[in-house]
Amino acid sequence: MDDRTLRRARKVLSDPVRLHAYQAALEQVCADKVVCEIGVGVGALSLMALRLGASHVYGIDSDADALQLASQVIARNGFDQDRFTAVLGRSTRVDLPERVDVVIADVLEEAALGENVYSVLEDARQRFAKPDAAFVPSEIELRVALVRPRVFQNECEFWDADLFCKFDMDFGDVVPILRTRKRMLKLRPDEAVSDWQTLRRVEPANPKRDLESDSVVLEVRKPGKVEGVCFVYDAVLLDGVRIGNLPVDQAAGPEQGFQPFAQRLLCGEGDLVEIGVSPSAGELDLASRVEVVPAPAAAEFMARRTQ
């Protein structure tokens, strides 16, 4: 089994705010309903749905070992194959024997990493869901901001300068590799150097209300170096149940998705940074096109965009 599956499961199960939020949402819709969970992992949310009265749960996952473990966990908690069906494969490549009343898709971390989860949700709406099916989450808004995370700066400094100064070892070639890798990290609120702007919003049950952009323009509020962008989500699980991962000061706060630029930018206050968004291999690449507009030209630039 991929270690990431267990790490992710622990992250969910050790986060009481997130777990209680899912329970509060599923309590509203699971009783006597047929449920599908996309990305079962070790089975926590499928088990929760069964305990809340779901008549049957179809659990989809592409990790065979994780799916087997989920089946064992669910059986250990008193639910046999009459109530839970394991479905091996990617959700976009498998079929279900019936339409379902509820679709659970805990894709918030994937959204925070800039993965294109919207195609997965749209496929589920078209092929798995009944016309009046409930989706959990029912709405996901993805926002981005320019950032300078200290933890990333320290990592680059370690490879680029620390080893050279302390041991006369030149590992400068590592830094360009670091700048190609998305990751989850904890951003401090003061490390955002622009406001948070909406990049995408999706309502799986109401695709006509979806919003997406092919570029985003961010205004620099704090001059200096800009390392990249961070993604955060604001998600409505169901009516009255909302969770998000905006950065907070507490050490136990949530993580954010970070995508570094190929090269750090040096920006002044009031400069605009336009970033092109290109879906690629199921991901949103926000580093494909980066243009810095100096503050004196910002008003003219924005006027052209609105024409």
Are 100 and 148 part of one and the same domain? no
Name residues whose C-beta falls within 8 Å of residue 177's C-beta, 6 or more positions apart in sequence: none
CATH number at residue 291: 2.70.160.11
Domain identity same for 295 and 222? yes
Name the pTM for this structure.
Answer: 0.88
End-of-domain residue from the set 51, 85, 106: 106
pLDDT for the residue numbered 119: 84
Are 139 and 210 a contacting pair, CB within 8 Å? no
Q: Can you tell me the distance from the alpha carbon of 167 to that of 161, in angstroms, rounded to the nearest whole number?
A: 10
The secondary element (H helix, E strand) that includes residue 142 is: strand 139-147
pLDDT at position 304 is 87
The list of the chain residues with pLDDT below 70 reads: 1-2, 278-288
Residues 269, 159 share a domain: yes
What's residue 147's pLDDT?
A: 97
- State the Cα–Cα distance between residues 94 and 257, nearest whole angstrom: 29
| pLDDT at residue 224 in the model | 95
Residue 190 is classified by DSSP as G
Q: Which domain holds residue 151?
A: 141-306
Number of domains in the chain: 2
